[in-house]
């Protein structure tokens, strides 16, 4: 069936069938949306922080009340099993709202400026955090509720408006959230732009004051280039190729359980999924057996959802097929099954180092297991991809784990756990290399959506030391001060010269 160009087909990945359609946002509607956002942002920022918090608190409660419908929409959008929907995108966001609401006063509080009373008499000052204005937000389909809320909640609390382009593969959950925004926030404060790449490009060019993008590397680079050409800041989060490292002293039962979950949760469609697991050779066979046993117990549909798009399914199939053709072996899975876009969780072994599944982001339920012989090998192995998001180390010796972690070039390190830290609102979520420069969560994310403004009040009634005239008295003061501060300087003559110079400047100002 032909789908008109002005609508988005909403495909249920559990069946591969189109459930309904959503109208796209016309490109020529963007200027009007930006104008409404500017008006809403100014009215919103003019409200005291206490009132903004009250509105967001009501939004929080409305989100919890709508949780069953949001969980249902997540199933329609990305085939999310109910357990994942409730843990990753309902309960985690409940914590997100609570964290920001309880801390935003302190995080936005002005900080005083320290003035040297000799050089700057009679002055006081402070640094305030001001909203950047309109935040352009472009988000992916893998966590279609959690990822946007991690930016929208602190953005609006700090006084910004948001023009949000959700993924064209996650329109059901976006509509659910938009309804809540319209009901509880300033009209026009958060607006959705529905569409694909053309609409995303239009958001970057529409006159926003900052851009936040989470998605693929190539699209992210284009967004960053567009932002640079417009002189606006841009926060980019562009994927990962996460490694887990299992040392020989690790608790193998817990490590196998944790890594199995971190590899296959969200069907591996998580930038922090374990996509490479390096295991000490002495425990490799034991660990592999445990992972295979746990993986075979997972059920498609209730434990493991489908790939969200047919395109992503094709990437997973290509990576696994190539690995097997190069000599790798699938200990579980290895071939698509069922209806829709399901792919069974797949454990690989004997994968050669040049295989794409060890270098490129797979973003699917595939876990290669690779033995290593020496700790000295680990930095090259772990750092050997273009990405640098998270790495986990599994060991009974946490001090050793932290020491080893110093050699890994990534944004997040966990010892004896993996992948959950993106749900911690107080922990900075960031990466290195091609993962991008963006920061989600914590006070550091707030700095991405605000700008510092310095305010200085001067109560001095005398002319400043550095004002005209630039005469000998000024030189005596400045050179004397430098001599007083210089290690090994002749202090008494320098002090005398400084005081005499100050006296002459004071008399000249009368």
Planar angle of CA 148, 153, 154, nearest 5 degrees: 115
The answer to whether 53 and 104 are in contact (CB under 8 A) is: yes
Q: What is the 3-state secondary structure (H, E, C) of 353-419?
A: CCCHHHCCCCCCCEEEEEEECCHHHHHHHHCCCCEECEEEEECCCHHHHHHHHCCCCCCEEEECCCC
Query: Does position 86 have pLDDT exceeding 50, yes or no?
Result: yes
**CA distance to 27, 77, 91, 163, 227, per residue, from 135 (Å):** 18, 25, 25, 6, 12
The answer to whether 416 and 401 are in contact (CB under 8 A) is: yes
Identify the band that residue 3 occupies on the pLDDT scale cut at 50, 70 and 90.
low
Q: Kindly report, residue by residue over 10-51, the tens digit of the pLDDT.
A: 999 999 999 889 999 999 999 999 999 999 999 999 999 999
Q: What's residue 1's pLDDT?
A: 46
Residue 119: CB atoms within 10 A of its CB come to 11
Q: Kindly report, residue by residue over 280-307, the tens digit of the pLDDT.
A: 999 999 999 999 999 999 999 999 999 9
Query: Does position 2 have pLDDT exceeding 70, yes or no?
Result: no
The answer to whether 415 and 392 are in contact (CB under 8 A) is: yes
Tell me which residue of 138, 433, 84, 86 sits closest to 270, measured CA to CA.
84
CATH number at 16-238+444-453:
3.40.605.10
Query: Does position 415 have pLDDT exceeding 90, yes or no?
Result: yes
Q: What are the sequence ranges of the domains in the chain?
A: 16-238+444-453, 242-423, 462-508
Mean pLDDT calculated for residue range 384-398: 97
Q: Kindly report, residue by residue over 205-260, the tens digit of the pLDDT.
A: 999 999 999 999 999 999 999 999 999 999 999 999 999 999 999 999 999 999 99
CATH number at 242-423:
3.40.309.10
Q: Kindly report, residue by residue over 443-485, the tens digit of the pLDDT.
A: 999 999 999 999 999 999 989 989 999 999 999 999 998 998 8
């Amino acid at each position: 069936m032909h789908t008109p160009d002005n609508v988005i087909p909403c495909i249920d990945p559990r069946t591969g069938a189109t459930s309904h359609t959503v109208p796209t946002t016309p490109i020529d509607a963007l200027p009007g949306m930006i104008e409404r956002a500017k008006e809403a942002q100014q009215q919103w920022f003019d409200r005291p922080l206490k009132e903004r918090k009250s509105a967001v608190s009501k939004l929080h409660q409305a989100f919890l009340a709508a949780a069953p419908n949001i969980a249902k929409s997540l199933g329609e959008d990305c085939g999310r099993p109910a357990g994942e929907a409730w843990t990753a995108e309902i309960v985690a966001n409940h914590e997100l709202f609570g964290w920001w609401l309880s801390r935003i006063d302190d995080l936005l509080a002005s900080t005083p400026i320290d003035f040297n009373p000799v050089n700057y008499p009679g002055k006081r000052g402070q640094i305030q955090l001001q909203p950047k204005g309109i935040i352009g937000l472009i988000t992916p389909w893998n966590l279609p509720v959690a990822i946007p809320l991690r930016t929208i909640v602190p953005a609006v609390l700090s006084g910004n408006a948001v023009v949000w382009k959700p993924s064209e593969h996650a329109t059901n959950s976006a509509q659910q959230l938009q309804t809540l925004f319209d009901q509880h926030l300033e009209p026009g404060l958060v607006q959705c732009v529905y569409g694909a790449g053309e609409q995303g490009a239009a958001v970057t060019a529409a006159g926003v004051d900052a851009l936040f993008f989470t998605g693929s590397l190539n699209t992210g680079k284009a967004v960053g280039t567009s932002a640079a050409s417009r002189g606006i800041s841009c926060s980019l989060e562009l994927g990962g190729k996460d490694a887990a490292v299992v040392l020989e002293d690790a608790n193998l039962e817990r490590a196998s359980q944790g890594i199995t979950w971190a590899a296959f949760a969200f069907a591996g469609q998580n930038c922090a999924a374990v996509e490479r697991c390096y295991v000490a050779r002495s425990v490799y066979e034991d660990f592999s057996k445990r992972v295979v046993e746990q993986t075979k117990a997972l059920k498609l549909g209730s434990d493991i959802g489908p790939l969200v798009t047919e395109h992503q399914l094709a990437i997973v199939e290509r990576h696994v097929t190539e690995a097997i053709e190069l000599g790798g072996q699938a200990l579980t899975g290895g071939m698509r099954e069922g209806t829709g876009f399901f792919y069974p969780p797949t454990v690989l072994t004997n994968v050669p180092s040049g295989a794409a599944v060890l270098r490129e982001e797979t973003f699917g339920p595939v876990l290669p297991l690779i033995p290593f012989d020496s700790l000295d090998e680990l930095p090259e192995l772990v750092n050997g991809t273009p990405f640098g998001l998270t790495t986990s180390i599994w060991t009974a010796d946490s001090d050793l784990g932290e020491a080893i972690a110093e050699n890994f070039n990534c944004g997040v390190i966990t010892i004896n756990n993996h992948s959950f830290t993106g749900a911690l609102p107080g922990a900075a979520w960031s990466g290195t290399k091609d993962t991008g420069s963006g920061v989600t969560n914590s006070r550091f994310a707030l700095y991405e959506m605000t700008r510092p403004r310095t305010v200085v009040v001067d109560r001095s009634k005398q002319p400043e030391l550095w004002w005209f005239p630039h005469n000998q008295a000024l030189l005596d003061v400045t050179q004397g001060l430098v001599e007083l501060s210089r290690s090994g300087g002749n202090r008494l003559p320098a002090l005398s010269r400084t005081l005499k110079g100050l006296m002459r400047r004071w008399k000249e100002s009368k």
